[in-house]
Amino acid sequence: MNDTAARALRTFAQGFIGVLAIVAIPVLNDIVSSVGSGGEVTIDVDLWRGIAIAAVAGGLIALVSWAQNRLEDVTGHDLVASRGREDAGDTREAA
């Protein structure tokens, strides 16, 4: 896997894990509590659909990130100017 794809995959994973941490963990905690107390377990399909939609959105964001990273690697120019890049160890030569 090349560096551009690895960075895009990392972007997707960060977004997806963030959504799971915010939404899914409290829901799973409620399910475990219900099972532990002998109560009924209900699963909100709409909530899990929302999580899936957020995952797809994360995938689209990762795709845009991949395209931007790839273009920057090929052209050697930043598409979005970032300050302090010289101090961040960037080894690309200025054109």
In the chain, which residue ranges form alpha helices assigned H by DSSP?
3-19, 25-36, 45-75
Residue 24 has pLDDT above 60, yes or no: yes
Q: Token pair of 81, please?
A: 């100017």
* Mean residue pLDDT across the chain: 78
Q: What is the 8-class DSSP label of residue 88?
A: G
Interval 20-48 mean pLDDT:
82
Contact 9, 63 (CB under 8 A): no
In 20-44, which residue ranges form alpha helices assigned H by DSSP?
25-36
Q: What is the pLDDT of residues 51-80, one digit of tens each?
A: 788 878 878 888 888 888 888 888 888 877
